Structure formats: C-alpha cells, structure tokens
Amino acid sequence: NVAVAGLCYVAWSSVLTVPILFPLSGFMVLEYGMAEAREDAGYFAGFLASCFMIGRTLTAAPWGVVADKHGLVPVLAACTVMSAICTVAVGFVDNYMAAVVLRIANGLVNPIIALVKGLLPDMVSHRDQHRAMSVVTAQWQFGLIMGPGLSGLLAYPCGNDWGSPAADEDMEGFLCSRPFLLPLAVCGALQLTSLLPLWKLVRPRIEAARRAAQPAEEAAPALRPES
C-alpha cells in the first residue's frame, strides 16, 4: 500500500528528532561551558536528552483535541513543520538554556506518532489494521536506531577540540563554529520532505475513505427499526 508506505516515512522522519541528541548531549554541555570536565557533564547532558519527552508529555492529549477539531492531516502537517524548525534551531544556539527550551518546545509540538496511528483506521480495512499498525509502529524502532547514528556520523564535520583538527579552514565560520548543526539540519530536512507523501499520498486516501463512508452513515438510520 503506497499510502501506508508514505505514512511510514512520515512516522520515521519524525522519530529521528527524538534520539538525535543522545550521542551529542555530553559534547553540547562541554561546548556550552556548563561543565569544566567530561566527568561533570552527565547531569546536564541527561536533562537535555530528556527535555523532548517533558514537552511531549504535556501536550499529547491537547493535540488530540485539536486534531479532532481541525483534522488529523492538517494538524500533522503543521506539527511536522514546527518540529523541523525546532530541531534545526538547536544547531544554531550557543548556550545550554536555549537548547533546553528548544528541545522542550520540540516535544510540545511533536505528537506525530499518535496522529499517525489515528490515521490508520481510515487507510486500511479492519482486517489489515493490525498489520498496518505493526509496520507503522516499527518506524519508532528504526528511528531510535538511525537517529543516534546520523548524529554521530555528521556532527563535528571539521573535527573537534578533543579529536582531529579542523579539516577545512574555509568552513570554519559556519559548520566548524556550529558543530551540531549538520545532523540537526539533515533531520529537519527529512521531516520537511515527509510533507510530500503526507499531502500527495495520505491525504487523498483519507478523503476517499471518508467519502466512501458517508453513504453508509446516511443509510444507517433507515436500517434501524422504529421504536
């Protein structure tokens, strides 16, 4: 099912932003000057890594209410854009508290997995819902695996103070001074590209399913026996 595959991509790209900072949080604490030595960075790094879920816990239920009122697909698209902005913005900050605020904000605007699951009943038959749900839920695991790998691969593109020296002096004014921007920018770009399958594949499928359900709903009162 092409629409379900598109929805899987939406789910996977949104999950990447959850663990993207896990390998980087300790280095970020040192870069921000919150700890003088590596052994002192654990407390601040752990809190920074948990900030996303703090925000997500606060707004999971309210986003469901908003989606019921305005529609799952428009809310999902809006949340994807806001989450991508928050993800990329962390790469530009140079202090710990700004990173904390942005990660909490990212959690506040990222109920995407819950919204994705809410779309499935309108996309597949009742008989296939359990299979589709398992496939979409598996994107959570794939994202948790690939997110840390992505950040570890792309962070410090010019080397770091504890490793090799900067490899490209021409980039020193941009990526070398923002060593965490590249993985976060790639993550945000992947989120934004998910808008294409969401709007071109998922939305038409949802609209078609709901149009098909309307005649059955209109005919249902006529089938009920009079009391």
User: How many CA atoms lie less than 13 Å away from 226 in the CB half-sphere?
Assistant: 0
Decide: residue 223, CB within 10 A, 0-12 exposed, 13-18 middle, 19+ buried: exposed
Please state whether the predicted TM-score (pTM) of the whole model is above 0.85. Answer: yes
The pair of structure tokens assigned to 187 is: 């993550």
Q: Are 102 and 70 in contact (CB under 8 A)?
A: no
Judged against a pLDDT cut of 60, whether residue 223 lies above it is answered with no
Predicted confidence (pLDDT) per residue in 117-170, tens digit: 999 988 888 898 889 999 998 999 999 999 999 999 999 888 765 444 444 444
Decide: residue 1, CB within 10 A, 0-12 exposed, 13-18 middle, 19+ buried: middle
Q: Are 83 and 106 in contact (CB under 8 A)?
A: yes
Judged against a pLDDT cut of 90, whether residue 193 lies above it is answered with yes
User: Integer distance in angstroms from the first to the last C-alpha of the chain?
Assistant: 43
Predicted confidence (pLDDT) per residue in 64-108, tens digit: 999 999 999 999 999 999 999 999 999 999 999 999 999 999 999
Top-confidence residue, 41 or 66? 66
Judged against a pLDDT cut of 50, whether residue 30 lies above it is answered with yes
Give residue 173's pLDDT.
64
Give residue 163's pLDDT.
43
